[in-house]
Amino acid sequence: MKLTKPTILLVLVMLFLHCSNYLFGQLANESLESDINSIIREWDNKNSPGGIIGVIKNGEMIYSKSFGMANLEYDIPISSQTVFRIASLSKQFTAACILLLEEKGKLSLHDPITKYFPILPEYANTITLKHLIHHTSGIRDFFKLAELSGHQVSDNFSDEEVMELIARQNTLNFVPGEEELYNNSGYFLLAQLVKITSGKSIREFAHEEIFLPLNMENTHFHDNNKMIVKNRAAGYSSSTNGGFEINMSNLSIIGDGGLFTTLEDLTKWQNNFFNNILPVKDFQNRMFNRGKLNNGTVLDYAFGLEHGNYNGLPIVSHGGAFVGFRSEILMFPEQEISIICLANLSNIKPHIINKKVADIFLRKEYSNLSGSVKKVSYSDSKKSVKLNSNIFNEYQGKYELSNGIVVDISAQNDQFFANIIGQTKFEIFPESANKFFVKDTDLQFSFMQGNSSKLHLILVHLYGKIVLGRKLKVESQFSEEVLHEYSGTYYNEELNIAYRLLIENAKLFVQVGNKPKQAIGLISKDKAVLEDSMAEFKRNKFGQIQAFQLESGRVKNLIFVKND
C-alpha cells in the first residue's frame, strides 16, 4: 500500500502527539514521585518503619505509595495489604454501627444511656447516645483514669474492668451538653451498646453489616490479643540510641479504637461515603452531622469525624495514635478526594503528611481560591537557629495561659520541649533568641520580659489567634516544717487508689503504688503541678488541708481525701 503525503503527515502528527503525551505524562509522574519522595524520604528505606499513603478520587484509588518496613526483624516491607492498627480512626466505624442500628429501629440517638446501662450512677440519666457520639457527655476518659490509678496506657483490660471503672465515677467532668471534651469512654460504651441491642459483639456486627457488604476482607475489630493477624505491621518508636524499638500493646478494648485494617480496605470504606452502598439513607450527611451544645453552639465534631478547613477548602478528617501506630483519613468532600496515611512509627505525623500530599494534588483548587483566603503550605518549613542554652534556661518553667491551660517549657540534651499539662510533650525549635516554632504546624511560642527582669510572659500563636500567659513561680524547695502540712495519704474512692505525699530533702513528692516518685511543684499555697496534672488543695475553716482536687487532661474534679 502506497502512503500519500497527507497520510504520512497525519501519521507523523499522531505519532508526535502520542510521544508528546507520553513525555508530558512521564514528566508529570516523575514530578509527582519527586514531590512525594521529598515528604517520606526520612523513612523510605529498609532500616526504618514507615507507612503508606493513598489518594482516592470519588471512591477510586488514583495514587498510592508505600515506604519503610512493616517488620524490621524479618525485613518485610510495607504494602497495600499491610494491616495497621488505626487507633481512634476506628471511632467512625463505631458511629456507623450506631447509625445502622438506628436504621433497624433498635435504638434512638436521643435515648438516655441508663436505658442500656443501669449500672451507671444517677447522673447518667441526663446523658444521651448523642452526647456519647459528640464527646459532650462529661464522662471521664477511662484511659486517663487507668493511668491515674497506676496502670500503663498499653496494659490490657477486660470490658468488665473498664465498665466497672466508669461506673465507679461519682461525678462528671461537666454537665452533659455544656462542653465538649474528647474522650474514649463514650465510644467504649457505644461498642457495648452494639452488643446489648443486636445480641452480637461489635466485631461480629461490623463484620456482617459493614465489612462483608463493602468487601473489606482484611479489616476487623481486634478483641482478642492472642489472635494471629496475617500481614500485620509491628509498631515502633525511636529509641534513645538512635535506632528503633518495638512499641506494641496487648490491649483488646474496642470501639474507641482497636480496628485493624489496610489501605485497600479503607479505599472501599471511602467509596461508601461517596456512593452510599451501606443501607443507611444519606450516609455521608448522617456521618457528617455535627453535634451541638445546650446553648446551640455547633461543634466541629460529628460521628467519629471532625470538620475543618484547609486553604479555604472544607475538610472532614480524623486521626489515630496509639503505641507505635499513627493514622489519618483526610477528606475534601467538595472535591470528592480523600487522602489516607497509615504508619507504624510513633513520630510519623499522618495529619501533616496528608496535608503535604493535598498541597500536591489540589494545586489547581488552591489557585482558584479567592485572594482573601490565607493559604498555608505544609511543604514550607521554617529554619531553626542555634541558641545559647543560657538564654533558654531563663525560659524554662511552667506558664499559665489566660485560658487556664498550663504549659511546661523544658530542655533536654540541647533540645527544647513544650508540654501542655495532661497532654503529650513536643519539641519546639528556635527561630530567633525569643521565638520558637513547632515543625509542620502554625503553633509558635514567643517569650517576652515582663515588668520584672525575672518575669517572662509567653505568647502562644496558633492560626492567627494569640493567647497570653505568665510564668508561674514554682516553689520546689521549702523547709520540712512548711511542707509537713501537705504530707500524708490521700485516697480517691472512684479510682480506689491512694496517693502518698512525702518529703525528701526538703522537697515534696507523690508516690502512686509502685510507680517512681514524682516531684510536686507548689505554684501557690494551695496549687501544685505534678508531672502532667494540676492539684488544688482544699482546707477546712481552720485552714487545715483536708483534700486536693486533681485535673489531668480528660479527667477533671477528682477529689483525693486526706486520711492522716
Distances in Å between the Cα of 153 and the Cα atoms of 9, 142, 368, 551, 553 are: 72, 10, 46, 18, 14
Three-class DSSP labels, 39-52: HHHHHCCCCCECEE
* Range with lowest mean pLDDT among 185-194, 218-227, 298-307, 377-386: 377-386
Within 8 A by CB and 6+ apart from 277, the residues are 213, 214, 271
More confident residue, 69 or 482: 69
Q: Is residue 249 part of a domain?
A: yes
DSSP secondary structure string for all residues of 325-342? EEEEEEEEGGGTEEEEEE
More confident residue, 155 or 204: 204
More confident residue, 433 or 158: 158
For position 451, what pLDDT does the model report? 56
CATH number reported for the structural domain that contains residue 330 in this entry: 3.40.710.10
Residue 527 CB neighbours (<10 A) = 17
pLDDT of 204 > 80? The answer is yes
Q: Is residue 349 part of a domain?
A: yes
Confidence of residue 10 (pLDDT cuts 50, 70, 90): very low
Q: Which of 364, 379, 414 is the last residue of a domain?
A: 364
My answer on whether 412 and 264 are in the same domain is: no
My answer on whether 283 and 261 are in the same domain is: yes
Q: Is residue 189 part of a domain?
A: yes
For position 176, what pLDDT does the model report? 97
As a whole-number percent, the residues of the chain with pLDDT over 70 amount to: 88
More confident residue, 194 or 553: 194
| Selection from 347, 353, 346, 342 nearest residue 232 by Cα | 342
Domain span holding position 496? 480-562
My answer on whether 291 and 154 are in the same domain is: yes
pLDDT in tens, 514-543: 888 988 888 878 888 887 788 999 999 999
For position 15, what pLDDT does the model report? 38
For position 376, what pLDDT does the model report? 58
Q: Which of 420, 436, 471 is the last residue of a domain?
A: 471
Alpha-carbon gap, residue 199 to 185, rounded angstroms:
21
Q: Is residue 328 part of a domain?
A: yes
Rg (CA), the chain: 27
My answer on whether 491 and 457 are in the same domain is: no
My answer on whether 158 and 284 are in the same domain is: yes
**How many distinct structural domains can be found in the chain?**
3
My answer on whether 171 and 270 are in the same domain is: yes
Mean pLDDT, rounded, for 162-168? 96
pLDDT of 298 > 80? The answer is yes
Alpha-carbon gap, residue 339 to 328, rounded angstroms:
8
Name the β-bridge partners of 461.
Answer: 444, 466
My answer on whether 178 and 309 are in the same domain is: yes
For position 462, what pLDDT does the model report? 65
CATH number reported for the structural domain that contains residue 554 in this entry: 2.40.128.50
CATH number reported for the structural domain that contains residue 434 in this entry: 2.40.128
Q: Is residue 359 part of a domain?
A: yes
For position 463, what pLDDT does the model report? 58
pLDDT of 4 > 70? The answer is no
Hey, what amino acid is at 192? Q
Q: Which of 427, 442, 471 is the last residue of a domain?
A: 471
Average pLDDT, the chain: 88
CB 201 within 8 A of CB 215: no
* Range with lowest mean pLDDT among 94-103, 311-320, 518-527: 518-527
pLDDT of 419 > 90? The answer is no
* Range with lowest mean pLDDT among 286-295, 364-373, 440-449: 364-373
My answer on whether 447 and 498 are in the same domain is: no
My answer on whether 214 and 324 are in the same domain is: yes
Q: Is residue 29 part of a domain?
A: no
Q: Is residue 52 part of a domain?
A: no
pLDDT in tens, 34-48: 999 999 999 999 999
pTM (predicted TM-score): 0.86
Confidence of residue 415 (pLDDT cuts 50, 70, 90): confident
For position 476, what pLDDT does the model report? 52
My answer on whether 178 and 238 are in the same domain is: yes
Q: Is residue 227 part of a domain?
A: yes
pLDDT of 421 > 80? The answer is no
For position 28, what pLDDT does the model report? 55
pLDDT of 372 > 60? The answer is no
pLDDT in tens, 127-153: 999 999 999 999 999 999 999 998 877
Mean pLDDT, rounded, for 175-184? 96
More confident residue, 524 or 105: 105
For position 217, what pLDDT does the model report? 98
Mean pLDDT, rounded, for 533-558? 93
My answer on whether 334 and 279 are in the same domain is: yes
pLDDT of 2 > 90? The answer is no
Within 8 A by CB and 6+ apart from 280, the residues are 96, 99, 100, 103, 286
**In this structure, what is the dihedral angle of CA atoms 385, 388, 393, 396, given to the nearest 10 degrees?**
0
For position 31, what pLDDT does the model report? 87
DSSP secondary structure string for all residues of 200-254? S-HHHHHIIIIITTTT-TT-EE---TT---TTBPPPEEE-TTSSEEE--------
User: What is the 8-class DSSP label of residue 292?
Assistant: B
pLDDT of 363 > 90? The answer is no
Distances in Å between the Cα of 538 and the Cα atoms of 94, 500, 549, 550 are: 41, 16, 7, 11
My answer on whether 208 and 327 are in the same domain is: yes
* Range with lowest mean pLDDT among 5-19, 79-93, 465-479, 528-542: 5-19
Mean pLDDT, rounded, for 312-323? 96
Q: Return the SS3 of 32.
A: helix
For position 7, what pLDDT does the model report? 46
